[in-house]
Structure 1
Amino acid sequence: MANGVFHTGHGIEINLTYEDLGNPGYAGLLEEITQPVDQRARNLLQCLKDHRGEPCQCALAGKSPWMFVRRRRSHGQVTWVAAHLPLTHAATPQESDKHKAMKERIARTAARHGLGVETEARSPDGRVVTDVLVTGAGARVGWEAQYSPITANTVRRRSAKARERNIAPLWVTSDDSSALIDRAPWTRVDDVPWQRIVSPLALIIRGGVRHLQIWKCTPSSERPCPTAGGACRMWHSGWFLPALCISQERATALDELVVTSADGEHLPVRSRDPQDARRTSYLWALARDVGRWREITAETGDTHEPGPVDDEPVTYREQELTFGHAPADALLQPLRPVALRLSPRERLVVAAELRCPPWEVGPCMLCAAPIHRYGPRSPKVCPACRMTTSS
C-alpha cells in the first residue's frame, strides 16, 4: 500500500494524506482517481517509485506499475490508500472454452426447468454484464462463470453492482484458490474439460454449499466441543460440508443449484466469525437451515458487506456457535434423504477395500453404492453403472 500516486494525465504527484490531495487547483480530482478501473484508463495512476525510476518491491514481485485507489479501515479510521493493479491476464483457449461451456450448461438447465434465462445480460446503463441471469419464483440469480484469475476487489464490486439491480450474485469456479471464494456467494466444481461441462453427466458441487448441524455437547457426542474442549453440555451449531454431516447429507449437483437458487430453496448466507467480526464467509444453504440458523443466532445472513475492510485472505471456519437451550425442531431428520449411511467401523472397512482414506468414501451418484468418490480424480459412478450407461 502507498499514500501517493503519479497522475499520468495531469503529470502531477498526488498525496493521499491531504484533503486536497496536495493539488488544490484540480477540482474533481478525487472523483477521477477513485472511479472503477474499467471506467478509466488503466495507466492513469502510476507507482511513485516506478515513475521516479526507483526499485519498487511490488513491481519486482510481479505486479504492474499501475495503481488504483480505495478506502481502507485501519485502527478505526478510514483512509485513502493506493495499491498495485495485478498484471492483466488474457484467458487461455482452455479457460475460454470452459467459460463458454459453463454458461451454456447453466442456461440450458434453467430453460429446461421453465426458468427465465438471459445470457450476457446487460445493466440498463450497459456497463455491467452478467454471464447468465436466471429468474425464478424466488430470486433473480446472476451466475458468473469464472475460469480465469480475478481480484477480490473486482468480485466485491461486481457483486455489489448486481445487488443494486436486485440480482443475487452466484460465482462458480473450479479453482480452490480463487480470490472469489468467500468474497461473495460462490460454489466450486471439479476442474474438467469443456466437453465434460456441456455433457449431461452430473457436476457435483465441492464447495460453497453447506448444511446446518445442531448437537448437544455431551461425553457421548460424535463431535468435539468447539469452545471448552470437553463436554460443556451446551448446544452448538455449525455449517458443514455434506460429507462431514452426521448423518451424511447428499451432495448437491450444479444443475440442482441452478434451479433451487432461483426457486428460493437454496439461499445465500454471509456468516460472521464470532471471534473476529471483520472476517466473514459466504455459503449457500437450504432455506430451512437458514431459517433455523437465524432463529438461533439472530443473524440476518444479509449478503451485503458493510463498510471498507482490509483486503486480507479469508479462510472458511466452521462457524460453530453456542446457545443455552435446544431450539425448536433441533432433532428433526435431514430435509433430504441421505444417500449413504455408514458407521465409523463400516467406513473403515470400505476404505480398506477401496484403498482410499475413509473421508473419501462416498455414494455412487446413480445407485448409491459406496465408492472412492471424493478423491482428486475419482469417478462419480461405480464400475457397474459406468458399464450400464456406456452400453
Structure 2
Amino acid sequence: MFVSIRRRQGRLVLVASHLPVTHKATPEESARHRAMKERIARCAERHGLSAQVGARSADGRVLTAVLVTGAGGRRIGWEAQYSPITGETVRRRSRKAAEHGITPLWVTDSEQAALIDRTPWVRVDDFSSRDIASRLAMFVRGGIRHFQVWKCLPTSERPCPTTGSACGRFHSGWFLPTLCLPNKPPTEVDRLVVASTDGEFVPLCIRAADDRRAVARMWVPVTDRDRWWDIIGPPESTTDQDDTADPPEEEIAFTREDIDPTCRYGEQQTLARNDPRPRRDRPEATGLHTFVRAPRSLFAFPASSPTLDITAAQRQAAASRFGCPIWEIGPCRLCGTPIHRYGNRSTHACRSCRTALKHRIGPTPSGSSTQSP
C-alpha cells in the first residue's frame, strides 16, 4: 500500500491506494539500453561528430548515457530510458544537464513514460535490442512536431479549432508529421542525432494558456520555431528546463473522516488497477493559436515590389529569352531581376528565388496563402 500526493479539484491531497507491481526490469531492457547507446554513438561518429558513452561532468554531478558534441560546440545528452522512472527524477537530471550546458534528449518506447513533456524527449517503436543494433530504419513516432498555419475557410481541409466551422481567421498549431497538410515524412533517429547537434532541430517548450503548470515539450525544426516566435513573440526565457512541479509552499488539504480499520482490498476482483498510468504522448495538435491577420513576417514576398530599371534593348532581350511580349516583362518580387511577370504562365519570382523560397517555407497547405493574408 502506498500514500502519494495527487491533485484533486485544484487541491493537493494525500491518496492511499494499493498499487500492484506492473513492471519489472528485465535483461532485455538493459540490452536495449546498451544497443541504443551504441547506435547513437556509432551514428554520431559516422557523421564526424564527437560521441562519449557514459560521459561524466568535471564535478561528477552529471552522468550522460551518450554525449554528442558538434563542430559548433553544441552538446546533446542522449538518455535511453526503457525502464520506469519518476517525473521528479527526470526533471532533476535534466536540470543538472542544462546547468552544465548540455541539452538533454530522452528516448522512450512507451506512450505512458513519465519523462514525456517533462524534458526534451522522443518516442520510438518497441524494437528488440537486435533490431536497435542493426541498420534498420528507426523512426521517431512522438516528440517531433511541425508548425502549420492555415486560414479558416470553407475550403480548408482542417476544421476550425474554436468554432468547428469556417471563421475566416488564421490558426496555427504544432502537428505530428503524419497529421500535417500535406503530410511530412517522419524523422529517423539517426538523422535526429545529427540534426539536433547541428541546430536544425531544437527543443521547444509551450505552456498552456489555461494552466501555466501544463506544458508541452517537443523537438521542432528551427525554421518552424522562428515562425512561431514571429507570431506569438519570443519567450521571456529561452531555457527549456523550467520546473513544472507543484510549488513547495502549496499546502496539502486534509478532510476529517472516521478511520476504517478494515482492509477491504480484494473484496472486488476486477482487472482495473487503482492508479493506471495515463497516456502522456497524445496525437492531437498542441499550441493552437488564433489571430485575425497574418503577421508580415510570415509573408513570402515583401509588401513593396522592386522597380524594373532597364533599357528598351534589355527589355526586348528579356522578352526574347522568355518568349513573351515586351509588356509582360516585369521585376522579380524578391530580387528585381527581369522575368516573365505578367500575362499567361507568368510567375511572381525568378527560378532561383522560388527555389530558395520553397526550401525556406516548404509546401503550402491547402486553404492557406504565402503571399497575402
Matched, 1:303 2:240: yes
Structure-2 change in CA distance of 1:307 and 1:206 (3 Å): closer
Cross-structure match for 1:180: 115
Classify the secondary structure of the residue corresponding to 1:251: coil
Q: What's the CA shift for 1:152? A: 0.8
Q: Does 1:267 align with 2:202?
A: yes
Task: State the alpha-carbon separation in 2 of the partners of residues 230 and 277 from structure 1.
Answer: 28
Contact 1:269 1:285 survives alignment (8 Å): yes
Aligned pair 1:324/2:261, yes or no? no
Residue 127 (structure 1) aligns with: 61
Aligned amino acid, residue 148 of structure 2: Q
Question: 2:241 & 2:209 partners in 1: Cα distance?
Answer: 18
2:343 is matched with which residue?
A: none
Aligned-residue offset at 1:127:
3.2
Given candidates 80, 83, 86, the residue that maps to 1:148 is 83
Once the two structures are TM-superposed, the CA of residue 83 in structure 1 deviates from its matched residue by 11
Q: Secondary structure at the match of 1:250?
A: coil
Alignment-mate amino acid for residue 96 of structure 1:
S
Percentage of matched positions with identical amino acids: 50
Q: Shift of the alpha carbon at 1:308?
A: 3.8
Is 2:40 aligned against 1:103?
A: no
1:255 Cα deviation after fit = 0.2
Preserved CA contact (<8 Å) 1:204 1:252: yes
For 1:92 and 1:261, locate their aligned partners in 2 and report how far apart those are by CA, in whole Å: 31
Q: Equivalent residue for 1:232?
A: 167
For residue 212 of structure 2, give the secondary structure of its aligned residue in structure 1: strand
Cα offset for 1:221?
Answer: 1.0
Aligned AA (1:297): I
Residue pair 1:249, 1:337 contacting (<8 A) in 2 also? no
Post-superposition CA distance 1:274-318 (Å, at most 9, x none): 232221011001000000011111143531214643799766552
Change (3 A) 1:82 1:194: same
2:122–2:140 contact (8 Å) kept in structure 1: yes
Distance in 2 separating the partners of 1:336 and 1:190: 29
> C-alpha distance in 2, partners of 1:278/1:324?
28
**Contact 1:209-1:285 within 8 A present in 2 as well:** yes
Matched, 1:93 2:30: no
Amino acid in the other structure paired with 2:31: D
Number of residue pairs matched by the alignment:
273
Whether contact under 8 Å (1:145, 1:171) holds in the other structure is: yes
Return the offset for 1:105: 0.2
User: C-alpha separation between the residues in 1 aligned to 2:66 and 2:22?
Assistant: 24
CA RMSD of aligned residues (A): 3.4
Gapped regions of structure 1 (runs ≥ 5)? 1-58, 344-391
Q: 2:119, 2:241 within 8 Å by CA — same for their partners in 1?
A: no
TM-score norm. by structure 1 comes to 0.62
- Per-residue deviation, 1:337: 7.5
Answering whether residue 183 of structure 2 is matched by residue 214 of structure 1, we say no
Q: Give the C-alpha shift of residue 335 in structure 1.
A: 5.4
Q: 1:140, 1:168 within 8 Å by CA — same for their partners in 2?
A: yes
In the alignment, structure 1 residue 256 sits paired with structure 2 residue 225: no
Residue 198 in structure 1 maps to residue 133 in structure 2: yes
Distance 2:132 2:35 in 1: 6
TM, length-normalised to structure 2: 0.65
Which residue does 1:118 correspond to in 2?
52
Shift of 1:91: 3.3
Structure with greater Cα Rg:
2
Moved more, 79-88 or 118-127: 79-88
Displacement of 1:107 in angstroms is 0.3
Residue 141 of structure 1 contacts residue 168 of structure 1 at CA under 8 Å; is this kept in 2? yes
Which whole-Å CA distance do the structure 2 matches of 1:261 and 1:308 have between them?
27
Residues 360-387 of structure 1: per-residue CA shift (max 9 Å, x gap): xxxxxxxxxxxxxxxxxxxxxxxxxxxx
Q: Structure 1 CA distance, aligned partners of 2:128 and 2:294?
A: 47
Q: 1:116: how far off?
A: 1.3
Q: Is the 8 A contact 2:174 2:288 kept in 1?
A: yes
Q: Secondary structure of the equivalent of 2:213? A: strand
Cα distance in 1 for residues equivalent to 2:167 and 2:89: 43
Deviations 1:325-359 (A, max 9, x none): 21333677575988xxxx9xxxxxxxxxxxxxxxx
Letter in structure 1 aligned against 2:135: P
Contact 2:85/2:114 (8 A) holds in 1: yes
Aligned 8 A contact 2:213 2:245 in 1: no
Structure 1 residues 293 and 150: alpha-carbon distance in aligned structure 2, compared to 1, 3 A threshold:
same
